[in-house]
């Protein structure tokens, strides 16, 4: 599969990336869904191994515009995984207590422990995105935050956490369709918020904020992946393949039976 990975130092231009692209997989939707099924089963095994091995942790960051599919990705990619094995942390407008702390405080509280896999549905990146777009912070602050984010993520990886960051890239036209669906489909009304249409008006400002954030925080230790996400099957397939690859690369093993149990007999 294509890597869709942002190389450190590479300038991201989102308008040059086709959200409809599915060329990274040779096969269509039907084959893609079959492969996804295999990957979800494999992910379940690897998650168990991660827990059993208990030396590593995995943090997966999902970012994207409203309707880009952060919730859908979580639902599909982890559909086969033991619910005890994964935890989702969602980041909303900061509470009073959170606002009284540095912006990384609430993120740090949610990072995975050894053996754990945690999904960030939005993340500390909101603090260089929505805050910037709404004029709550100015350039010196977001510049400083890029550095702080990189240092934070570096320390996590040095302590044994594997970090994968996915930007789910949809087109503005696709977002329009998905928002309309939220208004038209009774089973989707609950998802609709007024802020969805308001934020949509700031699309260009968001793209600028994203481009700079993705450019400045794709590091050798915590790379960004730009996932073409207009096609949901391709988005899910790509994300699960990356997670499986990353876990397989960790060379984990099931711990051996401790010496004192080697002569134990079950009667």
| Residues found near ligand AMP in the complex (CB under 6 A) | 91-94, 122, 126-127, 130-131, 195
Give the single-character DSSP code of 88.
E
With CB cut-offs between 5 and 8 Å by kind, which of Mg ion, ligand AMP, none does residue 116 bind? none
Q: How far apart are CA 196 and CA 230, in angstroms?
A: 18
Q: 173 phi and psi, to 5 degrees?
A: -65, -40
Task: Say which residue the tokens 């993120």 belong to.
Answer: 107
CB nearer to ligand AMP: give 40 or 73: 73
With CB cut-offs between 5 and 8 Å by kind, which of ligand AMP, Mg ion, none does residue 21 bind? none
Residue 156 CB, shortest distance to Mg ion, in Å, is 26
Residue 92 CB, shortest distance to ligand AMP, in Å, is 4
Strands 224-228 and 86-90: unpaired
Nearest to 89 by CA among 105, 112, 115, 56: 112
Q: Which of residues 38-77 bind Mg ion (CB under 5 A)?
A: 66
Angle, to 10 degrees, between the axis of helix 232-248 and the axis of helix 29-53?
30
Residue 41 CB, shortest distance to ligand AMP, in Å, is 29
Residue 83 CB, shortest distance to ligand AMP, in Å, is 21
CB nearer to ligand AMP: give 53 or 126: 126
83: left (phi over 0), alpha (psi -120 to 50) or beta: alpha
| Binding residues vs Mg ion (CB under 5 A) | 66
């Amino acid at each position: 599969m294509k890597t869709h990975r942002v190389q450190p130092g590479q300038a991201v231009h989102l308008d040059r990336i086709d959200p409809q692209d599915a060329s990274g997989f040779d096969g269509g939707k039907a084959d893609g869904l079959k492969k996804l099924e295999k990957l979800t089963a494999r992910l379940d095994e690897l998650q168990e191994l991660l827990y059993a091995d208990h030396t590593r942790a995995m943090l997966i960051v999902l970012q994207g515009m409203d309707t880009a599919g952060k919730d859908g990705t979580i639902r599909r990619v982890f559909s086969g995984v033991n619910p005890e094995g994964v935890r989702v942390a969602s980041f909303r407008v900061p509470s009073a207590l959170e606002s009284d702390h540095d912006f990384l405080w609430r993120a740090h509280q949610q990072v995975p422990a050894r053996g754990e896999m945690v999904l960030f549905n939005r993340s500390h990146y909101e603090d260089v995105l929505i805050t910037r777009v709404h004029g709550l912070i100015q350039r010196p602050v977001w510049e400083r935050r890029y550095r702080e984010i990189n240092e934070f993520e570096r320390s996590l990886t040095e302590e044994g956490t594997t970090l994968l960051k996915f930007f789910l890239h949809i087109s503005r036209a696709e977002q329009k369709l998905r928002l309309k669906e939220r208004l038209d489909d009774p089973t989707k009304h609950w998802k609709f918020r007024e802020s969805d249409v308001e934020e949509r008006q700031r699309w260009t400002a968001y793209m600028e904020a994203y481009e700079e954030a993705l450019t400045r925080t794709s590091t050798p230790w915590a790379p960004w992946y730009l996932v073409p996400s207009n096609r949901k099957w391709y988005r899910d397939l790509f994300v699960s393949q990356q997670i499986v690859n990353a876990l397989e690369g960790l060379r984990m093993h099931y711990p051996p039976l401790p010496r004192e149990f080697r002569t134990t007999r079950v009667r």
